[in-house]
Structure 1
Amino acid sequence: MPGVTSVLVLGEALLDVIDGRRLPGGSPMNVSVGLARLGVPTVFHTTIGHDDGGEILARHLLASGVTLTPGSWGSGPTFVAEVRLDDAGTVATVSTSPGSRNPSSSRRGRTGRCRSDRSAR
């Protein structure tokens, strides 16, 4: 990207729990990781907790070349979205942790496909 010094991405970072595996997730975080992996200097601002989940996300961002803003560390827990798949691999339920910014967002019977063997990003 000629003329671009760096990109600031703002938005959520969370842990997706699929089949018991905790994986970094959140569309804005994925965008920041993608930009950094393409060689674009990227700074990411989000809210993560001072907990295991926050450490997992911070390590993933650092390993991907993303700079996490110091103000991203919040006082609450890191957001977690737990996904349960049915036998066909379709999302059966999505529930959010007490640390969710929208705890009423649980959805049941949501249609769609989700690969349960996602590799760490």
Structure 2
Amino acid sequence: MADGGRKHRVLVVEDEDNIAIALDFLMTREGYDHDRIASGGEALERIRATHPDLVLLDVMLPEVSGYEICQGVRLDPDLADVKILMMTARGSAIERKKGLALGADGFISKPFELKELREEVRRLLGEGA
């Protein structure tokens, strides 16, 4: 739970339905308020409008890449407290380094274990594992 008993809000930015369904299942089971968008083009606008506690952000998206979205969030002082967990199927050290250099708070490779993802989400939200 977030401060004051409010549920943590998570925004999932993922264009692959099968992965989004797994993420939806996990977020529901963990008790988070969550929403999903499938396109990078509307991600920044949605992040600014809803100010989620955490963004689960795919790197490879239609229209705008996850890297560009991450950079846009980090350049907006109003979004300084939004945590970003980047997800990619190309989980090389170079990809990870680039995501973290652009301001991501965490980086996870697909396919991921749900347990691993849950632990990373809890870490970023400041919850015990």
TM-score range, shorter chain: 0.3 to 0.5
Q: Larger % of helix: which? A: 2
Q: Larger % of strand: which? A: 1
**TM, length-normalised to structure 1:** 0.33
**TM, length-normalised to structure 2:** 0.31
